[in-house]
Structure 1
Amino acid sequence: MAAPTRDQVLSLLAAANNHGDLAVKTSSLKQAKDLLLSIDPSLAADLFPYLLELQSSPESLVRKLLIQIIEEIGFKAAEQSPTLISVLLTFLRDNDEIVVKQSIVSGTNIFCSIFEELIVQFQQYGKVERWLEDIWVWMLKFKDAVFGIALEPGSVGIKLLALKFLEMFVLLFSSDFNDAEKLAAKGIRQAVNVSWLVGHPHPVLDPVVLMSDANRTIGILLNLLQSVGSLPGCLTIAVVNW
């Protein structure tokens, strides 16, 4: 990468981290993202540690934007992807609701993409790359954390997004689920479902474990349905609509 381009990215990230004007911070971060997307993945990866310094930014909008950027560029440099994705877990414990919400939304999208990539990569090449396995490990940790959020007292808005994650999990890992329209509405291709794994041994994905987790998740949702009288209105609607 030409020195001016690297220097430009570093300058923009420094502005996003240190400038006193929030508008300048967010604008600089967006410009840095565009540059990171435009350069060679291996060279962009060298700059990711500077990008991740923004996770301690005092500005919640900067932290939210960082999550969105991680979702967008997370797979650009495969070997660095697990480090980027792991930040989502940190942001699930953020003290600002908008940051936690964005972490769940982006994490849900990444979870679906990783599951799809695990299947497609093995279909096409007969193997799964190590970096993808590492991301899946982080995604399972993310799943456990979001499940905890769904069941614990807390913000209604955050719990609603956690419930949507539970629904997505059931759609992905219930082998008898074949509602194509609902899958499409959730952004999930019908072909990308745990049923594909039945009879097709996979080096990373265990269909028995995944379907067992899906059944347990259905049980959680049913328990929530039985207690709808004690849930806030929008959570009741979300559970009933499921």
Structure 2
Amino acid sequence: MSQGSDLIKLQETDLELDRERKTLKDLPLIAELAKKRASYAKLKSEATRLLADRKDAQIAVDDLDEAERSCHEAITAAQERPIDASDYRAVRDLEEELSLLAKRLDKIAFDRPAALEKLEAAREREDKLAGYIKRFEASIIEDTKAAREQAAGLQASIDELTRRREHLLGRLPQETRAMYERGLARFRGLTVERIEGNVPTVCRTALQPASMDALRHAGDIAECPYCHRIIVLNAEE
């Protein structure tokens, strides 16, 4: 197999390898997963906020319960307090104290429905979001599995192309290999060309008669005098 044939196959392999790597990097499902993970982070942040809202609502209800318990204890204590019925001031103070406690109980009873409604609404929002997050997590797991399967197929292809590349590079003389690698970096993959008549297939600059004469005395490959790519003169297997 000629150097020219190996170089052409090597360039084809490198171009395909570059395409496969870009495909893997830009895999739509991976990009979609990145978006979903960003959305998931926002959902978890929202869940934390709703948890705090629900706890605040629960604290408000608990405070009302505690206030109600304290009022009932105060009423019981006041009613059990020994008072001389003939002591007008003591009786009046007791009545005022019980009246004040009754008003507090009325206020607690008035505030309770709104507090309970707020707590129930907070629970519903929290439960609804928790259900949505659970479904969202299942979706991410499925997409991750699918992305891994797609990526695994592409990675297997990349590994095979890499082995082929190493094999072809190993067949080339050191000088030719160095020339190819320099051109690969410079020309972004298109470092090897053929010649059609007196025109190279990549740079498309017609060669002068003197250059053509030099090519006729070259071996399998030569260097384009204009673009300095590798010109394959013999591509026989």
TM-score with structure 1 length normalisation? 0.20
Structure (1 or 2) with the greater strand fraction: 2
